[in-house]
Amino acid sequence: MVFTTRTCPDGCSTSYAAPKANTVHLRQHRPAPRRYAYVKMRPESAPRAVGDAHSITLPSAVDARVQELNLQLALTPTPPAAQNSDISQLREQLGTLTTLLETQQRVIDKQQALIDQLRASVTRTKETAPVPPASVSAPSLGWNSKLSPFESQRIGIGDRRLLGLYDARFHSTASGATPKDYRVLPDRIILVRHAESEGNVSNLAYTTIPDSQIPLTARGHEQARKAGMKLRKYIEQKNDQNYKLFFYTSPYKRSLQTYESISSAFAQTNITGVQEEVQLREQDFGNFQDAAGKEREKTERLRFGRFFYRFPNGESGADVYDRITIFEDHMIRDINAGRFGSNSNLVLVTHGLALRVFLMRWFHWTLAQYLCVHNPPNAEPLILERVPNDTDAQPGGAVSWMHTKSLYRLSDESMEVLRGCTEEMCTTSHAPRFLTSSQEEEAEEAKRGI
């Protein structure tokens, strides 16, 4: 019997003989290819939710190798015994890559847990942020379709400017205008006018002695020593024995002598340093001063204006204001940079007019307010105390948006010494100030030299 072989439509081969009676039709099928499990891959470009436990994006090299192994296994028919070792190696490599996938998934899960923890921390911080006073009309903190995304973001971080309020964090020199840590601020800033000098006793001293070389009188030395003892008693009542002092002083002789007598009241271990500052010097009234000529100039100053009159070869009050402004800006940056640290006291030994201008610049006095204030007595300390409490000093508290100058207030005892200074003038506020009728009268009298 002759058989013929042909291929059926379903892919099998068929053997048959010529059609005769009782012909037997035989079909022989090839075995179907073996099927294997696949590792389902997600393309790298496909979006994936963070922390999705069933969606993993692999590096392209790993992805390509897994696909290659799957393809090889799928297209390989039932191998002869000689090829079993190659298939075992492929399966071993596939198992290794599967283990790598599982390890990467565990790393992703840990990262997602950390992200959730950070989000919860941010939420708690926002919930504990200070709420604006009820009297202030604040924008709604919820969703407001009228606000732009940028404005909504600024409200979310507590931008006080949106409430029409001052926020020092957006100052042009914010990095130096606000402290990063409340603990770096000195406990107090102490201003001292030099003790009694020869020039305070007689103006004739200026006719033969340069202003920078005018010394203290014997009474002045005693005043300075008493000022040192008074300061030490005051500080030790406020601080423990580990307090520190740093001195800034005018280079004029009477100021240096005052510093020496004040510092002698303290142990050397409490004094961390002293620095001469030319910007703290007295107003320059000219060179050697002719007594009669200087009287004529002072009379002319009353007609022109005490603050803006510039003495020949000398300065005006406005000139002193400019250099004191530069000094204060540098000192604030040193304070906020942690140069002095906590439990410290800054002592500035300077002159009467320079001291008043310092306070004018610090507390933002108007010119009329400045003209109402008289020079303090010789060697009488004026103390600016740090005022924020622990709540204000916490992250997100008032200290975070207040300028460093706003964190100090002139003490009640110092206000009594500084004649013409009111309580309202002894703190920093960025709200408009208005003079009372009595202050306006005093300012006019000061302008006329009364």
CA atoms of 218 and 229, how far apart (whole Å): 17
221 is catalytic: no
CA distance linking residue 334 with residue 340, whole number of Å:
8
Fill in the DSSP letter of residue 197: B
Which residue among 194, 221, 351, 403 is the active-site one? 194
Q: Is residue 188 within 8 Å of residue 420, measured between CB atoms?
A: no
| The one catalytic residue among 277, 282, 380, 442 | 282
Phi, psi angles (nearest 5°) of residue 346: -95, 130
Report if pTM > 0.85: no
Tell me whether residue 445 is one of the annotated catalytic residues. no
Q: Would you write out the chain's pLDDT as a tens digit for each of its 450 residues?
A: 444 445 454 455 544 444 544 444 444 445 555 544 444 444 444 444 444 444 445 555 666 766 776 776 666 665 555 567 778 888 888 888 888 888 888 889 888 888 888 888 787 776 665 555 444 444 444 445 565 555 555 555 556 666 666 666 666 555 555 666 666 789 999 999 999 999 999 999 999 999 999 999 999 999 999 999 999 999 999 877 789 999 999 999 999 999 999 999 999 999 999 999 999 999 999 998 888 898 999 999 999 999 999 999 999 999 999 999 999 999 998 888 888 877 899 999 999 999 999 999 999 999 999 999 999 999 999 999 987 665 565 555 566 667 788 888 999 999 999 999 998 888 765 444 444 555 556 555 655 554
CA distance 26 to 8: 12
Helices in 173-290 by DSSP H: which ranges?
174-177, 198-201, 205-208, 218-238, 253-263
Position 421: which residue type?
A: C
Q: Which strands form 344-350's sheet, in the order they lie side by side?
A: 271-276, 244-249, 344-350, 188-193, 382-386, 408-410
Q: Which phi and psi (to 5°) does residue 228 adopt? A: -65, -45
